[in-house]
């Protein structure tokens, strides 16, 4: 049987690994002990009793294949070298190492136990803060503000952003609804404002930044693409933002048997889990075709219009979906049903074979 090595077990990588488990010898390389559903990170911070839902152990993901708990340090067309020194040869390679995000957006600790300790410690500090400052008014900063206000409606929350408007590029109606929903929750938004407090983020510590005095702050910007293991240039050279050039079939340019997907792939669309999972379907279909000795035919067309589900707590929020007739605003009930109520926990419980 052919060996398919998937590097990175995030949204895209774990889906490819599972899809090909019955057809190939799948090896999933991943330093974490559990898949992290980043969409749940902010609720995991505000509700320690819910925080365990963020993590999905890899134990039951694959039936035939294996998960190697290690980190890729170098990749070449024949296989991958791991931090432990182990070498794994591959017939097909999938690069799915995604991105890192400032804690608490994605945990920095690699073990579930350590990541839960971090979240509980930060929750304690946040609980004691009167005024919370969030730097960054993208979806992560606004969702964090919404989760904080749902648990502590009386806490003062200020979100600052250097940009001139909220969620540029989305429909004016959705953006108006967003402003209204934020105002209803008494979430203060200061646009055209950039601050980086000199104290450590996520720690109770009263500080003044510009004309804002607050007791704790969180950074909600700064996606970093994980492609350091490609820096030796033995396979390909990432672009200036760390992403990897791919063909329409999501092959790494120059290789029929190597693929890149998710946040790592250089595609003209937002970096989103939803897209990473669509990429995974294309990659799995193309590898599956090759395993059967056929020419791969699946291709990926980047989404022409942006989409978003932006919950503000478990019962509110705004959203926009694409359609062949153009993008449209979805009602709050859709935001709650598709995302806000459980932040995709049910969907991943099924994928990872876990009862929740
Ligand atoms: C707070 C927050 C909320 C979000 N909410 C949403 C949402 O609601 N909807 C949405 O569509 N998107 C959301 N996103 C964006 C989404 O998380 C990313 O687009 C998504 O994680 C990308 O998936 P991926 O499969 O490319 O990689 P990732 O999910 O980033 O997974 C990459 C995996 O590779 C592993 N890895 C890294 N380096 C190596 C290495 N050298 N060797 C082996 N393994 C390695 C990592 O440990 C990780 O498990 C959110 C992001 C944040 C921060």
Ligand 1: residue whose CA is nearest its atom 35: 8
pTM exceeds 0.95 for this model: yes
Q: pLDDT tens-digit profile of 268-284?
A: 999 999 999 999 999 99
High-pLDDT (> 90) share of the chain, %: 97
pLDDT at residue 52, as a whole number: 97
Tell whether domain 112-222+305-351 is in CATH 3.50.50.60: yes
Ligand 1 pocket mutation pick from 273, 310, 348 by most atoms within 8 angstroms of CB: 273
pLDDT of residue 229: 98
* Local confidence band at 303 (pLDDT 50, 70, 90 cut-offs): confident
Same fold: 3-31+69-101+223-291 with 112-222+305-351 = yes
Ligand 1 centre distance from Cα of residue 211 (Å): 35
Pocket lining: 311 vs ligand 1, CB cutoff 6 Å: no
Centroid of ligand 1 to alpha carbon of 13 (angstroms): 10
* Residue-level pLDDT at 305: 86
| pLDDT at 304 > cutoff 90 | no
CATH class of segment(s) 3-31+69-101+223-291: alpha beta
Average pLDDT, the chain: 97
What digits encode the pLDDT tens for the residues 100-122? 999 999 999 999 999 999 999 99
Q: What is the pLDDT of residues 206-245, one digit of tens each?
A: 999 999 999 999 999 989 999 999 999 999 999 999 999 9
Assign 3-class secondary structure to the chain.
CCEEEEECCCHHHHHHHHHHCCCCEEEEECCCCEEECHHHHHHHHHCCCCHHHHEEEHHHCCCCCEEECCCEEEEECCEEEECCCCEEECCEEEECCCEEECCCCCCCCCCHHHHHHHHHHHHHHHHCCCEEEEECCCHHHHHHHHHHHHHCCCCEEEEEECCCCCCCCCCHHHHHHHHHHHHHCCEEEEECCCCCCCCCCCCCCCEEECCEEECEEEECCCEEECCHHHCCCCCCCCCCCCCECECCCCEECCCCCEEECHHHECCCCCCCHHHHHHHHHHHHHHHHHHHCCCCCCCCCCCCCCCCEEEECCCCCEEEEECCCCCCEEECHHHHHHHHHCCCCHHHHHHHCCCCC
Query: Tell me, what's the ipTM?
Result: 0.99
In the reported structure, the alpha carbon of residue 162 is separated from the centroid of ligand 1 by a whole-number distance in angstroms of 25
Q: What is the pLDDT of residue 356?
A: 76
Give the model's pLDDT for residue 120.
98
Domain residue spans in the chain? 3-31+69-101+223-291, 112-222+305-351
Is residue 102 lining ligand 1, measured as CB closer than 6 Å? no
pLDDT band at 343 (very low <50, low <70, confident <90, very high): very high
Structure confidence by residue, pLDDT tens digits, 152-176 = 999 999 999 999 999 999 999 999 9
């Amino acid at each position: 049987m052919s060996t398919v090595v998937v590097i990175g077990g995030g949204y895209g990588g774990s889906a490819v690994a599972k899809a090909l488990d019955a057809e190939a010898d799948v090896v999933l390389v991943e330093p974490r002990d559990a898949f992290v559903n980043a969409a749940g990170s902010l609720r995991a911070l505000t509700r320690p009793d819910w925080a365990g839902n963020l993590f999905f152990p890899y134990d039951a993901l694959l039936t035939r294949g294996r998960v190697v708990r290690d980190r890729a340090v170098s990749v070449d067309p024949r296989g991958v070298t791991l931090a432990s020194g182990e070498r794994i040869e591959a017939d097909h390679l999938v690069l799915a190492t995604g991105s890192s995000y400032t804690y608490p957006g994605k945990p920095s600790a690699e073990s579930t136990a350590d990541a839960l300790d971090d979240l509980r410690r930060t929750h304690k500090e946040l609980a004691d803060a009167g005024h919370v400052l969030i730097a960054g008014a993208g979806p992560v900063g606004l969702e964090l503000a919404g989760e904080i206000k749902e648990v502590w409606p009386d806490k003062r929350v200020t979100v600052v952003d250097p940009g001139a408007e909220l969620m540029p590029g989305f429909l004016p109606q959705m953006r108006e609804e967003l402003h209204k929903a934020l105002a209803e929750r008494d979430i203060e938004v200061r646009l055209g404002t950039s601050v980086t407090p000199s104290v450590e983020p996520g720690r109770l510590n009263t500080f003044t930044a510009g004309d804002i005095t607050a007791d704790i702050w969180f950074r909600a910007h700064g996606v970093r693409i994980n492609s350091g293991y490609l820096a030796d240039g033995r396979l390909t050279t990432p672009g200036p933002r760390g992403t990897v050039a791919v063909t329409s079939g999501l092959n790494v340019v120059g290789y029929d048997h190597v693929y890149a997907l998710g946040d790592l792939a250089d595609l003209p669309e937002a970096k989103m889990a939803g897209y990473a999972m669509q990429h995974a379907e294309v990659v799995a279909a193309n590898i599956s075709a090759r395993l059967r000795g056929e020419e791969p035919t699946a291709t990926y067309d980047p989404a022409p219009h942006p989409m978003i589900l932006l919950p503000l707590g478990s019962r509110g929020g705004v959203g926009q979906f694409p359609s062949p007739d153009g993008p449209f605003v979805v009602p709050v009930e859709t935001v709650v049903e598709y995302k806000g109520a459980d932040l995709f926990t049910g969907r991943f419980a099924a994928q990872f074979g876990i009862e929740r």
